[in-house]
Amino acid sequence: MNRTNNAEMEFTLNRLPGTNDKWLPIMEPAEVKKALRFHRSFPQYEVTPLHRLKKMADYLGIGGLYVKDESYRFGLNAFKVLGGSYAMARYIAGKTGKDVDDLPYQVLSSPEFRREMGETTFYTATDGNHGRGVAWAAHQLGQHAVVRMPWGSSETRKANIAKEGAEVTIENLNYDDCVRLAASQAEADPNGVIVQDTAWRGYTDIPSWIMQGYGTLAIEADRQLLANGIERPTHIFIQAGVGSLAGAVVGYFANKYKGNEPIMCVVEAGAAACLYRSAVKGTGKTVRVTGKLDTIMAGLACGEANKIGWDILQNHAAGFAACPDWMSAKGTRMYGVPLAGDPVVISGESGSVPMGFMASILKYPDYEYVKEALKLDSNSQVLLVSTEGNTDPTRFREVVWDGLYGVRHRGDAVI
């Protein structure tokens, strides 16, 4: 892994041609509420915290900073289970001719329903969090899971998936090629189905349902902001791999605040920034990023966009950023060692990059042009999502204890 500390962030405003916005309706509040009802049926369901970082907001010069902390989600330390579990329920509903509202957890997990449905094996590719969520949901519902992980995946994350009873391997492939492997294996299995948030020709239902499942965190955050007296966030910074979470969050808030949308910016790992590169190309067509996708942000190491999410982002994201690894590490340390009076947020490398990005554009003169382009000022009310907690303890300690990707930015100013 390249551990240099002088890589720079790249940014572009969204100047893409608009489309007919055909995918925006999947994230309408009524659809998201259906996913929320399903998730509420799980005995493990609790609303994850929305932390107010008042001192950090003052330090950064903005009006308010709120962080949705997904490390508490279902005891799995990441948000991903929201999408996989809901997509699996929607698939089962279609297979049995039922409405998902008639299939809460208590029904899906019952021995009687398992006998009615029969056996299904859910295949997926993952760096860890999505696969763990699929494996957990399959285990809860008495079904099977097969998980393929890309090269360089954490043994800790692999072990967590195996604990849920899944068949799991680390392949000598990058993430996107693991998706193709899992899809081919599911196709060859008479009882197999691929549960992936990457859409392709003929495969759009399950990715759409996964995005709707992610909508649970968006509607929770929206309601929590209202409870904090924030009628509407002015800015949302959201991380992206294939763009499913970003499309889900941007899609939800674009539907909720039609005609007065927040300024929403997508941040990616620089080594795998397929959305940023697609935005720079400017035609509306997606760009593939190939190779080993070498980044500390394993959950964002995806080189091929989800075209459903991309369509929403093309119409509603204000800007796109390709972030170096030091921004992620900086965000993890800022969350973990907060200003006095603010809560501690334990955020892994893929969860923390929006914080590192935002702090950098607000505090470093080199990036002031981004601050101005995104209209950040003392009145801004900002929403971030920390998508994962400490899911790879070895890497987390390297970042926080050992200063991995500590940065010297433009000369001798240590950051």
**Residue type at 31?**
E
pLDDT in tens, 36-79: 999 999 999 999 999 999 999 999 999 999 999 999 999 999 99
Is the pLDDT score of 411 beyond 50? no
From the list 197, 241, 196, 238, the residue with the least C-alpha distance to 218 is 238
Cα dihedral: 289, 278, 367, 271 (round 10): -10
Tell me whether residue 281 is one of the annotated catalytic residues: no
pLDDT at 234: 98
Q: Is the pLDDT of residue 413 over 90?
A: no
Between the alpha carbon of residue 342 and those of residues 69, 70, 376, 379, the distances in Å are 14, 17, 21, 20
pLDDT band at 302 (very low <50, low <70, confident <90, very high): very high
DSSP 122-162: EEEE-SSHHHHHHHHHHHHTT-EEEEEE-TT--HHHHHHHH
> Burial code of 201-237, b = ≥16 C-beta within 10 A, e = fewer?
eeeeebbbbbbbbbbbbbbbbbebbeeeebeebbbbb
| CB distance 135 to 195 below 8 Å | no
Query: Annotated catalytic residue: which of 69, 127, 197, 342?
Result: 127
Amino acid at 156: T
Cβ partners under 8 Å of residue 346, min gap 6: 71, 335, 336, 389, 390
Among 117, 112, 86, CA closest to 197: 86
pLDDT of residue 412: 39
pLDDT per residue over 257-272, tens digit each?
A: 999 999 999 999 999 9
Percentage with pLDDT > 70 across the chain: 96
Residue-wise pLDDT tens digits, 187-200: 999 999 999 999 99
Q: Residues, the chain, total?
A: 415
Question: pLDDT digits over 104-147, tens only?
Answer: 999 999 999 988 888 899 999 999 899 999 999 999 999 999 99
Global pTM exceeds 0.85: yes
Q: What number is the average pLDDT over the span 362-377? A: 96
Averaged pLDDT of the chain:
95
Q: Position 359: which residue type? A: A
Q: What does the pLDDT average to over 321-325? A: 97
* Amino acid 4: pLDDT: 42
At 123, list the tokens: 């295949």
User: Which residues of 36-191 form beta strands (DSSP E)?
Assistant: 50-52, 64-69, 121-125, 144-149, 167-170
DSSP result, 371-384: HHHTT--TT-EEEE
Among the listed residues 106, 160, 101, the one whose alpha carbon sits nearest the alpha carbon of residue 129 = 160
Q: 72-105, pLDDT tens digit by residue?
A: 999 999 999 999 999 999 999 999 999 999 999 9
Domains along the chain with CATH numbers:
10-79+206-400 (3.40.50.1100), 81-200 (3.40.50.1100)
- Identify the active-site residue in 80, 256, 307, 371: 80
Phi, psi (degrees; rounded to nearest 5) at 67:
-125, 120
Report the pLDDT value the prediction gives residue 407, as an integer from 0 to 100: 67
Predicted pLDDT of residue 1: 36
- List helix spans (H) across 320-392: 325-336, 349-363, 368-373
CB–CB of 181/149 below 8 Å?
Answer: no
Active site residue 58: no
* pLDDT (mean) for 388-392: 96
